[in-house]
Amino acid sequence: MSVVTRFAPSPTGRLHVGNIRTALHNFLFARKNGGKFLLRIDDTDRERSREEFVEAIRDDLTWLGLLWDSEVRQSQRFDNYERQFDRLKSAGRVYACYETPEELELRRKVLLGRGLPPVYERKAADAPVPEGRQAHWRFKLDHDAPIEWNDLIRGPQRFDPKLLSDPVVRREDGSWLYLLPSVIDDVDLGITHIVRGEDHVTNSAAQIQMFEALGAKPPHFAHEALLVAAEGKLSKRLGSYGAEHLREEGVEPLAMLDVLGRIGTSQPVEPLKLEELVDGFDFAHFGRAPAHFDPHDVELINARLLHRLEHSAVADRLPAAAREEDWILLRPNLERLSDFSDWFDVLHGDVEVPELAHDERLMMKDAASIAEGLDWAAEPWKALTGELKTVSGRKGRELFHPLRLALTGRDSGPEMAGLVARMGKDRAIQRLKAAAKR
């Protein structure tokens, strides 16, 4: 069993949320069923498919953890495309056309104006060839063979080929559109399953006849529901939301995979390991309603992932001096891993001395005096606040907020008991004294 994910290298950006979802589901299906996950680079457009764009695709997939078993470059397979194209031409399944885009658009408007489907109208075999025009080539659909398949998500599908236009497979300059080369590759590589968006359903119908024309059994298809933004449609903002944005924002790649692996299904979106996503993957869970994507869900899952990560999973991305106890103490308060460094400085570095009211500064002086007499190995925060409450007569926010500011420089954060114990007696006293003098 083999599945394939395809990318066309482009200067428009890195992998975005839509093609990450498709690649992820191909990957999960392959891993769940013991198959191979193949990466196909559709780089037939030499101008747009520079090597730096190809490398960006590999880089993003690697960062996401979607590692492929093998890679195919379409630019290295032109000889095979030519052979199969000649074979189809000899069989009468591809034919030359000479209309200009303007002529095709005009005819389309005429048909629509008459209330007819805008289906390409084949010319007679003996129609004259317009002088000075290069041919583009179409695949000739068999109008007498209804197209049917059982989609793994959409269920039974049926298309009347008479209502479909013969698809263009080759341009006037000899370059390929992706439909036919993809089929030739799938046959040659033994692809058994293709997972793609539902906007490709009509393309799949045409490609099924291409498989059959090449004497091959079509693969199984799974067409996913559209991915839409929470407000109703996939906006331009979400169109650019993807691997590059996540990396810039310091979001864990697994957070994106957890969300995209489950939205649009009957399963809950929750923080999972990649192996857990693989084990739970099943097309039976997928619905046909649009899958609503909200970047806020990724942020929530990212925080929940961090809160359960073991120190060993992040140690190489933390400050060199950070220890496991630092990670365990701080991780419940992290939204992104980059937040750790700021809180690590609170524990072991310097903080900005806060500006306190006069009576608060006097309280910090008392707090420093109390701290000097405490056994720091025995719940220092509880002992400090207990004695200070008695001395100052304060309680609640009036007691705890100035202390938090003095000791951490922050209005909020992790539980103070753990922070105070971990920062150490000398550092705590130093900060209390500094706040008292400000």
User: Which tens digits make up the pLDDT trace of 336-381?
Assistant: 999 999 999 999 999 999 899 999 999 999 999 999 999 999 999 9
The pTM score is 0.85
- pLDDT confidence bin for 123, thresholds 50/70/90: confident
Number of domains, the chain: 3
Q: Do 333 and 374 belong to one domain?
A: no
- Residue 175 Cα distances to 171, 178, 239, angstroms: 5, 10, 27
| Sequence-distant (≥ 6) Cβ neighbours of residue 122 within 8 angstroms | 95, 140, 166
Q: Do 380 and 409 belong to one domain?
A: yes
- Residue 412 Cα distances to 256, 340, 363, 397, angstroms: 28, 15, 19, 12
Kindly state whether residue 192 falls inside one of the protein's structural domains. no
Kindly state whether residue 381 falls inside one of the protein's structural domains. yes
* Residue 236 known to bind ligand: yes
Which domain range does residue 15 map to? 1-71+225-308
Q: What is the DSSP string of 139-167?
A: E---TTS-EEEEETTTEEEEE-GGGSPPP
118, 159 in Cβ contact below 8 A?
Answer: no
Q: Do 376 and 316 belong to one domain?
A: no
Where residue 26 sits, what CATH number does that domain have? Answer: 3.40.50.620
Res. 238: pLDDT tops 60: no
141, 206 in Cβ contact below 8 A?
Answer: yes
Tell me the average pLDDT across 236-247. 70
User: Which tens digits make up the pLDDT trace of 204-231?
Assistant: 999 999 999 999 999 999 999 988 876 6
- Residue 45 Cα distances to 23, 175, 200, angstroms: 21, 8, 21
